[in-house]
Amino acid sequence: MVYLEAMKEGRPCLVSTFDAAREVVNPPEAGLAVDTTQLEALVDAVQRLLKTGGEWETWSSQARHRYESRFTAGHFQNRLIAALSSLR
């Protein structure tokens, strides 16, 4: 997923309020979620995500941490093994 690739690199993400990407990014932890039918809100979110500074640095750090604590290959492997083990 592109969101995981971005978060791995410490890049905050912009997701829609209409899909499951929010579960990955967990706004406002690692980026922002916006109703894509609201043009003004979308423009504001893009501007915030493109502006360097304290807010961006916080998102960057939290995005990297969220990836490392939940979405590495090791985490996936552990969840898969647990799920398969429960089928016995």
Write out pLDDT tens, residues 12-64.
Answer: 999 999 999 999 999 999 999 999 999 999 999 999 999 999 999 999 999 99
- The CATH number covering residue 18 comes to 3.40.50.2000
What 3-state DSSP class applies to 16? strand
- The pLDDT assigned to 81 comes to 93
Q: Which residues contact 10 (CB under 8 A, 6 or more apart)?
A: 60, 61, 63, 64
- The pLDDT assigned to 1 comes to 83
Please report which confidence band the pLDDT of residue 84 belongs to, taking 50, 70 and 90 as the band edges: very high
- The pLDDT assigned to 48 comes to 97
By residue range, what is the domain housing residue 34? Answer: 2-85
| CA 45 to the chain's CA centroid | 14
Domain count, the chain: 1
- The pLDDT assigned to 59 comes to 97
